[in-house]
Amino acid sequence: MTDAIGAGAVDRKPVGLSGRDHERQVLDGLLAGARESRGGAVVLIGEAGSGKTALLDRCAAAADGSRLLRCTGVQSEAALPYAGLHMLLRGALDRAGGLPERQLRALRGAVALDDVPAGDRFLVGAATLGLLDELSEERPVVVLVDDAQWLDLETVDALLFAARRLGRGRVAMVFAAHEDSVVFDAAPGLPVLHLGPLTDAEGAALLVGRAPDLRADVSSRILGLAQGNPLALVELAGALTKAQRDGSEPLDAREIAVLPASWRVRRIFDERIRALPAPTRLLLTVAAADDTGDVALVLAAGERVGAAAGDLGPAEAADLVRVSGRRIAFRHPLARAAAYQGAVLVERAAAHRALAEAAPAAGDMGRRAWHLAVATVGYDEEVAAELERSAEQFRSRGGRAAVAAAYRRAARLTEDQEARSLRLAAASAAAAEAGQVELAGALADEVGQVSSPLTLARLASVRAALEHGQGRAESARLLLVDAASDVTARHPATGAWLLFESAVMAWDAPDPAAAARDTRARTAGLDFGGDPVHRGAAGVLDTLVGDAAGGAAAVREFAAYVVETRKERSLAEQVRLHGWDMLLGEYRTVHDEAVALERECRAEGAVGVLPRVLLRLARLRLFLGRHRDAYTTAVEGLEIACDTGQRHLATMLSGVLVVLAALQGEEPGGPEGLAGADGPGGGDRPGGGRGTAGRDPYLGVAPIPIWLARAHGLLDLGLGRYDRALRRFAGLTGGPQRHLMVSVHSLPDQVEAAVRTDRAAEAGRAADRFTPWARATGTAWAGAVELRCRALLAADGAAAEELYERALAAHEGDGRPFEEARTRLLYGEWLRRAKRRAAAREELTTALASFERMPAAAWADRARTELRAAGASPAASATGTDLVGRLTAQELRVVRLAATGLSNRDIGARLFLSPRTVGYHLSNAYPKLGVASRAALGALDLG
């Protein structure tokens, strides 16, 4: 996967550069920033020969005094997990001893090929960040990655995760990738520089520097042929004979007008390689098929195809490869491509087989299996079985994409149709887990008839996940229901899981109640053998169809079962099953369980699973009135969801943020006006005060419409725009955007807005819909809110007062301070209108204090206005004296952990930041909090 690592590993002198002034300026600034503890990364995108490698060479030359880590992707080895990271970091692992234990194990499992699991690939990314930070303690670190589009997916995920979180480290990272790269051309969170063609003036200047003896008309012809491609200019000029240089021999024979410039350069390399002796060409094919850059391995494999060490000399003399110490590197990626693609099939197969035979000495059986597979034509069960074994080895190292590739190739080598289908199914599932959506779908479509119920279930889950990811929850539900009907008789437990997944899809369907009714009807005759997962699914379906009483009991039983059997399940499965008692409004209980899951995710470094837990926690903290905590939790969740490519979770986390912004009195503006997040390395958004609206620095992630609509409705209600609020909530509770959780929470809001606009009948209908759910769940807060709704509707003054008083009594200790404060606000407004100003002031003062603590500025302003109307003179907003509110979300997370006595390294491990970045946030937080050191943090109220 790579061809060079370490400072000076291979002598790569930078060629002269002409033009690219902006790119050079950006890269110079990046390197200077690293020296000044302003870490950063940039992506260079361009066609082959556009100057990406030359710019990297220039960075390497300019990185004087820095530690240089460099690697180059190789297409033929892109399926080996962490191959790129292995080559990039293997020489630096001696400095990894200071990493947290789980990160160290993950990194060694990925890079050192130890017999330990690598774990979550994003944990490997966090460990990579930690190691780079360790290395930068001595001197700045410069990481250069060429042909990044050919890196294995696991390495890409790990490096991009680290690159987005460099923060205040002394690390600069530069990725160079082909213009066709999907991943790097839109790498969220990283600046991208597109290298277009040079201007004629820049091209002419380059030619003058490289070939000053060219006649003017010859130079003009070369400029036309090169089409602004710098490498084409250099190589086309270098390939000219003396007669062609002085114009006495025409250039027409060299012109291939229909080919792009990069292909013309490829032809030059092809011609140069064809001129070499046959053994040298074979040795070059072996070197091009290898990804290690290990001279000893290449020569050992070369002996097996009839080449000797001395045959490398002509290739060096032709400036195609360079050898330094134990490393061999091609002069340019196009030279490697010419050496590999220019060989015939039998030569490439022989090269891979020779490398497979030499690989055991290198101790990497996965690489051996892959070389054998590439060398094999037709069916070969022995090689297929070895590939299957290597797939499971890749799985233990966290290489989901590599697992998919290995199973896919194994299936191609398999003649037996049943075995082939099983391997394709395994490949499809692994591709889905790796986020390769299109590949997973294509592989699933290739699977033929299978008899195994487990395989049928796996395929249905994969296809359903793909449909759900495309926003087709109803289609996903039907796939799962059909699969449950097919497998339950033979495997009830598997059928129960499929039913549970279908209930999840019904939850997200356009009409959840109709979807749930259909699922119940289709699966009514199936016998799940009393499986607890089936009972949980049935409870969810009952709740969705409106049978709150029956559903509540089943969901509670299922929630208890999930907690009791926690130790029997993987962390990902626990997260998947947890939280359905949120349907019942059991927010404090669910919150405590979610906190335990969050701790476990952080302890295990389960970065990929963590955003889902943080989403749950953010929503719970919003419901529990802990708005500052909800904000910091949602911001971190959004950062990690974006870093890990989980866009669906990012949209839901953005939904929490827009609701919080609305409670602060800010207009939720969709994708252009989201409640923004600090970037992983900084930001200036307050941890809980005003100013939470802003564009997300990663993806511009738009929240899902129902949460955006709820945010608008709450803002309208808080600002007294009751007509607008009523339209919003009517759409949420009865329109196409209706959804159980949002609908239930919006019904009391609809009651209030309808009463304030004199639509008593509409308010009554909304209250009547809320009452059965509130009574079936039995939660204190729901009962209190139901009483508040009835108080709003009461025509008799005495009845209204009694209902308000009962509501406040029910609120006592119910864990929903926002709802309690709203009840007091409404009661205070009622008391003021009843001319009972002293009593009104008491309720409104309490409500105001509660809104300010959360904070919920829009509602605090409403309470303040009512207090003035009641004859009081409330103090101005206390925002300016709220020390914690001055902190960014990241600063608040850091200082809270620092206050518990954790070191910067431990804090960094928990938040997946470098210790240096943690120190930077602390140094910024101290003056805002009025303290001089972490020792004083323990005395502050950081709640």
pLDDT at 722: 95
How many alpha carbons lie under 13 Å from residue 175 in its C-beta half-sphere?
A: 31
In this prediction, residue 119 has a pLDDT band, given cuts at 50, 70 and 90, of: low
Distance CA 497, CA 425 (A): 18
pLDDT at 837: 95
The domain segmentation of the chain, as residue ranges, is 21-195, 200-255, 269-359, 884-939
Class of domain 884-939: mainly alpha
Give the mean model confidence (pLDDT) for residues 566-592: 83
pLDDT at 555: 82
Cis peptide before 191 (omega within 30 of 0): no
Is the pLDDT score of 5 beyond 60?
no
Max mean pLDDT among 7-16, 189-198, 468-477 falls in 189-198
Report CA 182 to chain centroid distance, whole Å: 15
Integer CA distances (angstroms), 463 to 417, 445, 453, 468, 477, in order: 21, 9, 15, 9, 10
Is the pLDDT score of 670 beyond 80?
no
Give the mean model confidence (pLDDT) for residues 134-147: 94
CB 606 within 8 A of CB 571: yes
Give the mean model confidence (pLDDT) for residues 286-298: 88
**Comparing 243-247, 456-460, 576-580, which segment has the lowest mean pLDDT?**
243-247
Give the mean model confidence (pLDDT) for residues 30-50: 92
The burial class, CB within 10 Å (0-12 / 13-18 / 19+), for 219 is buried
Distance CA 540, CA 550 (A): 10
CB 534 within 8 A of CB 554: no
- What lies within 8 Å, CB to CB, of 825 at 6+ separation is 843, 844, 847, 851, 859, 862, 863, 866
pLDDT at 303: 94
Which is more confident, 364 or 107? Answer: 107
**Comparing 1-5, 60-64, 179-183, 911-915, which segment has the lowest mean pLDDT?**
1-5
For 753, the 3-state DSSP assignment is helix
In this prediction, residue 840 has a pLDDT band, given cuts at 50, 70 and 90, of: very high
Is the pLDDT score of 839 beyond 60?
yes
Within 444-494, strands assigned E span: none
Integer CA distances (angstroms), 3 to 290, 324, 793, in order: 9, 11, 75
Give the mean model confidence (pLDDT) for residues 404-432: 88
pLDDT at 513: 80
Is the pLDDT score of 146 beyond 80?
yes
Distance CA 736, CA 658 (A): 20
pTM of the full predicted structure? 0.80
Which is more confident, 680 or 585? Answer: 585
**Which residues in 589-614 are b (16+ Cβ under 10 Å) and which e?**
bbbebbeebbebbbebbbbbbbbbbb
pLDDT at 194: 93
For 664, the 3-state DSSP assignment is coil
pLDDT for 638-665, tens place per residue? 988 888 878 888 888 999 999 999 999 9
pLDDT for 790-825, tens place per residue? 999 998 889 999 999 999 999 998 889 999 999 999
pLDDT at 264: 67
In this prediction, residue 687 has a pLDDT band, given cuts at 50, 70 and 90, of: very low
pLDDT for 730-786, tens place per residue? 988 886 555 666 778 899 999 999 999 999 999 999 999 999 888 888 889 999 999
Which is more confident, 402 or 362? Answer: 402
Domain 21-195 has CATH 3.40.30.10: no
In this prediction, residue 263 has a pLDDT band, given cuts at 50, 70 and 90, of: low
User: Please, what is the Cα angle at 667 between 722 and 866, to 5 degrees?
Assistant: 45
Secondary structure element (H or E) that encloses residue 488, with its range? none
Percent of the chain with pLDDT over 90: 39
CB 690 within 8 A of CB 879: yes
Percent of the chain with pLDDT over 70: 89
For 853, the 3-state DSSP assignment is helix
In this prediction, residue 579 has a pLDDT band, given cuts at 50, 70 and 90, of: confident
Integer CA distances (angstroms), 87 to 152, 296, 773, 864, in order: 12, 15, 59, 63
In this prediction, residue 76 has a pLDDT band, given cuts at 50, 70 and 90, of: low
Choose among 148, 174, 2: nearest CA to 84.
Answer: 2
pLDDT at 112: 75
Is the pLDDT score of 442 beyond 50?
yes
